[in-house]
Amino acid sequence: MNSTSNLNLKASESQGIKYLHSTNWDPQTSTEELTNYLQVIIPSLRLEKLNSRYPQEYASFKLSVPNSELNKIMKPEIWPSGVLINEFFPSKRLNQYTQQFNDQK
């Protein structure tokens, strides 16, 4: 095929999701508390509390943010001093599990 004019294919209307990791929260910070704060800024944001290596010292969260809203969530002024935010990378153990699951298909 040399021409795309005969194709009935379309791009996805989905904007995509970016996964972020936020850490160094007070250990008592709850998912509900943080969700209520962040959904004022990004209503479609989803949040999941992660198992921290040292849960008595800090809490960590995985944020699911639409790509179109990244500029809002990355503004330093919305984050308390000392809280860190960066791209979320699944753990090696999760990657190994996913690979094993895909190999079984």
We report the CATH number of the domain holding residue 38 as 3.30.70.330
In a domain, 39, yes or no: yes
In a domain, 49, yes or no: yes
Structure confidence by residue, pLDDT tens digits, 31-74: 999 999 999 999 999 999 999 889 999 999 999 999 999 999 99
Q: Indicate whether 104 pLDDT > 70.
A: no
Full residue range of the structural domain in which residue 56 is found = 17-89
Look up the pTM and report it.
0.72
Question: Given this model, what pLDDT does residue 1 score?
Answer: 47
84: nearest Cα among 1, 19, 20: 20
Query: Which residues 6+ apart lie within 8 Å of 63 measured at CB?
Result: 19, 20, 21, 22, 38, 45, 46, 47, 73, 85, 88
Question: Given this model, what pLDDT does residue 35 score?
Answer: 95
